[in-house]
Amino acid sequence: MSSLEAVLLLTTSDEINDGKFFIFCKQFLSMKKNNLSFHIFINNSEYDETTFLGYVSKLTIFKSAFVHNLNIPTDKDIYIRNQNYSGKIPPLGLTSGPNTMFLEAIKYCFNKFNTVLVLETDCHLKQNCFEVSKSYINSLSDYLISGSRYVGNQKTESLCSPFNLHLNGVAFYNTGSEEFKDLIKKMEEFILNEVEKNPARAFSYDMAFTECLLKDENIVTARRKLTKLINTTLILNCSPTSDSTITYEEINSVYPNHVIFHTKMSY
């Protein structure tokens, strides 16, 4: 049986300095205590440590809280959507910063936790999100990732495109599974190979999970792994900036049981 054991927050020093981190964490202060460990992964340590650690010490709803300053090298800590970028492109591509952060955070969890929940600071959480999440994960027996397919308003060329089929990075990850560890290795190798062939395109880790399987030469194995990437409406992905006008009322009318809403909508 699967069990949720840790919550990971992937954030940046910029989000700490501009207040996004504190606004997000304010949601925790009125929640019930739980037995989860909380791990904050930060791209570098360029923030006011005293203020930050003082706030983290108040997050007593968790069994424990840990801070991981990854100190990603500047030349690898990039997130660029402009394909006219003329600088040196690192091996993990134009989204090397988020890709590096995710890979380091998720590999840290290998052999430590059965299942982890990855969050970002633009997530809106319902008060019962962790209780519901733990019950949901307890009900799963054979999965690799469970999260949200895109449910926003952007038009795409096909409902079967990787954009529509992929699970957003805010998700549950079965870090205790050897099969999941193999998928991480496969996904990372896929990004490295694709960036080498086409450096001007951004290959984000969450899209790469699906794309590496869709392009796998072993169709039977890939098909079976794809069935273990499970969509759940407990998490909703409306994270593109263009979806910031989607309201709570609109989302709740379609998905009343969601507990995590990934959106750029203001708090």
- 15's CB contacts (< 8 A; 6+ apart) are 21, 121
81 vs 150 pLDDT, higher one? 150
| Closest of 264, 210, 21, 252 to residue 126, by C-alpha | 252
Q: H or E element: which one contains 42?
A: strand 37-42
pLDDT of residue 143: 97
CA 183 from chain centre, in angstroms, equals 16
- 242 or 93: which carries more pLDDT confidence? 93
Average pLDDT, the chain: 93
Higher pLDDT, 86 or 225: 225
Q: Which tokens hold the place of 244?
A: 């910031």
Mean pLDDT of 80-106: 90
Q: Which amino acid is at 230?
A: I
Distance of alpha carbon 149 from alpha carbon 166, whole angstroms: 6
Dihedral sign for Cα 225, 231, 236, 239, please.
positive
At 248, the pLDDT band (50, 70, 90 cuts) reads confident
pLDDT given for residue 85 in this prediction: 78
Sign of torsion, CA 89 212 164 6?
negative
* pLDDT value of position 97: 97
- Rounded Cα distance, 145 and 180, in Å: 8
Quote the DSSP letter at residue 47. S
Q: How does pLDDT run across 2-17, given as a tens digit for each residue?
A: 999 999 999 999 999 9
Residue 117 reports pLDDT greater than 60: yes
Confidence of residue 83 (pLDDT cuts 50, 70, 90): low
- Rounded to whole angstroms, the Cα distance separating 174 from 209 reads 14
Q: What is the mean pLDDT of residues 150-163?
A: 74
What letter represents residue 76's amino acid? K
Q: What is the pLDDT of residue 164?
A: 75
pTM for the whole thing? 0.96
Phi, psi of 109 (to 5 degrees): -80, -15
With a cut of 60, say whether residue 91 has pLDDT above it: yes
Residue scoring higher pLDDT (202 or 84): 202
Reported as a pLDDT band with limits 50, 70 and 90, residue 155 is confident
Q: How many CB atoms lie within 10 A of CB 245?
A: 11
Q: Residue 4 and residue 143: Cα distance in Å, rounded? A: 13
The structural domains of the chain, ordered by start, are: 4-263 (3.90.550)
Of all residues in the chain, the percent with pLDDT exceeding 90 is 81
Q: What's residue 160's pLDDT?
A: 67
Which pLDDT does position 158 carry in this prediction?
A: 65
* Contact of 261 with 123, CB cutoff 8 Å: yes
* Mean pLDDT for the stretch of residues 163-185: 94
Nearest alpha-carbon partner for 15 in 124, 126, 120, 117? 120
Residue 202 has pLDDT above 60, yes or no: yes
Which has more pLDDT, 214 or 265? 214
Q: Please compute the mean of the pLDDT values over residues 218-245 and round it to a whole number.
A: 92
Lowest mean pLDDT among 114-123, 157-166, 234-243: 157-166
